[in-house]
Amino acid sequence: MNSGGRVLIIDDEISLRQTMARILQRGGYEVTTAANGKEGLAMVSEHPFDLLYLDIRMPDISGLELLQTIHAKFPELPVVLFTAQPDVNSAVEALRRGATDYLLKPLKPQTVLDRTQAILASKEKERRKRELQRQIEALRAELNALESPEGETADSTPQQFLASDDRFLKCGGLILDLHTHRVTMNGRAVNLPPTSFDYLLVLARHAPNVVDYQTLVSEAQGYETDPHEAQELTKWHVHHIRQVIEPDTRNPIYIINVRGTGYRFVMA
């Protein structure tokens, strides 16, 4: 049984809402459902949630439009979109607008539980890391004050953390900050959604070796899936990563596709 979490499901299909609610409730989560985008937006605005499942196609407000609105107001809220009609362009657009993940119907019960657990565990981990960083900053400020000569005012400028082996991963011109999820490529800062960051991290850790699709999904998102779904999920995230690190996305030089197997990261 999981420690729980508050999940909101927004979908106009009553049978899917009820099925997902039962699956998540049995998994130990507190579940709320909404029948349309307007109702769901009102709930998100009035109540705190830890995770949102959102159908990409709804009659009143499209899932992408609702995602953009919610992400602007609640950037820390993970949102997973799902659809019965797979579309790479829609998936990439969803990631651009802040989606954490993108699933295909029909949704498998174990997949829903695995994704929920992995996302909430990652969210809790990031919350705890931020809390510890604040505590470290406070302790360092106190230590500086104690070590300052009497009568002098300690420097009020926050000190930057020293680079440590477990904080930064460097691969050629790529630098990944594992604490802040910031990416620097050849001296240029680039922005990636959290899940895409994790995919790039896996590729960099294995570089220059090939990482197969299922290993990428398993290590980046923490759950197992079949080869076809793993290939589709990986393709969307790699597409998004290439958009921000490749000089020419039509002729990638950093993330190389090994047809039918997976991807590998190399420094040209």
Is the pLDDT confidence value at 72 over 70?
Answer: yes
Average pLDDT of the residues in 95-114? 84
pLDDT averaged over the chain? 83
Same domain, 168 and 117: no
Rounded Cα–Cα distance for residues 154 and 148 (Å): 6
Number of domains in the chain: 2
pTM score above 0.75:
no
For residue 162, CA distances in Å to 61, 138, 168, 187, 248 come to 46, 16, 10, 18, 34
Is the pLDDT confidence value at 2 over 70?
Answer: no
Q: Is 4 left (phi over 0), alpha (psi -120 to 50) or beta?
A: left
Domain boundary among 86, 121, 156: 121
Read off the pLDDT band of 163 (50, 70, 90). Answer: very low
Q: Is residue 113 part of a domain?
A: yes
Q: Is residue 15 part of a domain?
A: yes
What per-residue confidence (pLDDT) applies to 40? 93
Same domain, 95 and 191: no
Scanning the chain, the segments in alpha helix (DSSP H) are: 14-26, 37-46, 63-73, 88-96, 109-147, 194-206, 213-221, 227-245
Average pLDDT of the residues in 171-199? 87
Read off the pLDDT band of 34 (50, 70, 90). Answer: very high
Which of 186-195, 216-225, 230-239, 248-257 tops mean pLDDT?
248-257
Same domain, 14 and 106: yes
Same domain, 106 and 40: yes
Domain boundary among 121, 151, 180: 121
Comparing CA positions, the residue from 29, 17, 194, 39 lying closest to residue 107 is 17
Q: Is residue 131 part of a domain?
A: no
Percent of the chain predicted with pLDDT > 70: 90
Q: Is residue 135 part of a domain?
A: no
Query: Which range marks the domain in which residue 85 is found?
Result: 6-121
Q: Is residue 241 part of a domain?
A: yes
